[in-house]
């Protein structure tokens, strides 16, 4: 027989489970009572709806939209409603984005596959250096593999993969680890790597996710900054925020390219000739945004590039 204490523990677990389900939902979802006061709301709802707070009345007009779905239920003798707040055009915009993303992936895969086919056909011709052609073909296979890995990782992020962590992690040691791991490839590219910053700075982000951010920022510089350039990873706090800065004094980008650097598959003219999936900075933006932060880019042709990932300060 289950005793009262056990039932109480199970009830507490159920309550916490329900709270997490609402809080972490990717939907704009709100729980309201009989008088339309907010009982609970998902993080996305609080970000999307101005003036939404627990205990306050639901902002006027929200229940009148055609896209709203209301699910009434009773719990503990109380009448409550689960409200899904959709916005007009959300579905069509999502379908358009998905179609565009699929087309972009297909285009990006087509190029290395076409090169691979050409290399294999050339290898069948008499007098060709088969070993060299196989090495080139292997490189194209690796490009395809990297692209698939990045697409899958970005998909996992967008379907709710956890980014933030309950405990904070020091940032500077991780920057030093990443720089050490990429030192050989940087040397081959003629790029000098450096790290600086405050060893006391911490972030409430999963170490794996932070490593992905730093890896992509470092690889971006190694691939595109150019020989003779210097790339520095720095971390510190400014105006109550944590700033992770990745700066180089290399070739830089055209100022018109800056607003588009974080778009999926977008590459500046020079980057199109370099190896890379075109998803690295898009992944950086998504992880930083999911951790409550934002990204910025500044620079110009011939004056290097600086990318700043700005996070909330750990309290």
One DSSP character per residue, 147-159 reads: HHHHHHHHHHHHT
Please tell me the distance from the alpha carbon of residue 101 to that of residue 23, in angstroms, as a whole number. 28
Q: What pLDDT does residue 71 have?
A: 80
Half-sphere exposure of residue 67, counting CA atoms within 13 Å on the CB side?
11
The side-by-side arrangement of strands in the sheet containing 305-312 is: 192-197, 230-238, 241-248, 305-312, 294-299
Q: What pLDDT does residue 105 have?
A: 59
Cross-strand partners of 205: 164
Please tell me the distance from the alpha carbon of residue 91 to that of residue 30, in angstroms, as a whole number. 19
**CB 212 within 8 Å of CB 173:** no
Q: What pLDDT does residue 93 have?
A: 45
Q: What pLDDT does residue 107 have?
A: 55
Helix 90-123 / helix 130-158 crossing angle, nearest 10 deg: 170
Q: What pLDDT does residue 41 have?
A: 83
**CB 271 within 8 Å of CB 224:** yes
Q: What pLDDT does residue 308 have?
A: 94
Q: What pLDDT does residue 96 have?
A: 46
**CB 257 within 8 Å of CB 220:** no
Q: Which domains does the chain have, with CATH numbers?
A: 4-84 (no CATH), 90-146 (no CATH), 163-312 (3.30.565.10)
Closest CA to 238 of 150, 307, 311, 304: 311
Q: What pLDDT does residue 254 have?
A: 85
Please tell me the distance from the alpha carbon of residue 249 to that of residue 232, in angstroms, as a whole number. 9
pLDDT means over runs of 10, the chain (315 residues): 57 67 72 85 77 80 70 79 65 48 59 80 87 84 70 60 69 93 92 94 85 90 92 91 93 84 65 55 84 89 92 78
132-145 pLDDT, tens per residue?
Answer: 888 888 877 876 77
Closest CA to 67 of 82, 50, 89, 52: 89
126-181 pLDDT, tens per residue?
Answer: 888 988 888 888 877 876 776 676 666 666 665 555 566 667 889 999 999 999 99
């Amino acid at each position: 027989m289950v005793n009262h204490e056990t039932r109480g523990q199970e009830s507490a677990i159920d309550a916490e489970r329900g709270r997490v389900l609402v809080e972490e939902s990717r939907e704009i979802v709100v729980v309201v009572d009989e008088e339309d006061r907010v009982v609970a709301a998902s993080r996305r709802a609080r970000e999307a709806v101005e003036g939404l707070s627990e205990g306050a009345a639901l902002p006027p007009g929200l229940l009148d939209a055609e896209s709203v779905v209301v699910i009434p239920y009773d719990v503990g003798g109380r009448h409550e409603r689960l409200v899904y707040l959709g916005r007009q055009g959300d579905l069509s915009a999502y379908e358009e984005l998905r179609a565009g993303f699929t087309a972009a992936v297909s285009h990006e895969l087509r190029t290395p596959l076409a090169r691979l086919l050409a290399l294999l056909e050339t290898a069948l011709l008499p007098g060709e250096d088969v070993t060299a052609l196989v090495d080139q073909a292997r490189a194209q296979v690796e490009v395809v593999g990297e692209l698939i890995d990045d697409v899958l990782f970005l998909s996992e992020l967008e379907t709710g993969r956890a980014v933030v962590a309950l405990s904070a992690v020091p940032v500077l040691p991780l920057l030093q680890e990443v720089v050490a791991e990429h030192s050989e490839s940087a040397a081959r590219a003629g790029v000098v790597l450096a790290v600086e910053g405050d060893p006391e700075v911490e972030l409430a982000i999963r170490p794996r996710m932070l490593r992905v951010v730093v890896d992509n920022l470092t690889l971006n510089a190694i691939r595109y900054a150019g020989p003779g350039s210097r790339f520095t990873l720095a971390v510190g706090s400014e105006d109550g925020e944590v700033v992770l800065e990745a700066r180089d004094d290399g070739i830089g980008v055209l100022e018109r390219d800056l607003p588009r650097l974080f778009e999926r598959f977008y590459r500046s003219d020079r980057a199109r000739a370099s190896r890379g999936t075109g998803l690295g900075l898009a992944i950086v933006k998504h992880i930083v945004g999911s951790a409550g932060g934002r990204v910025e880019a500044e620079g110009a042709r011939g004056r290097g590039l600086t990318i700043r990932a700005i996070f909330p300060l750990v309290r």
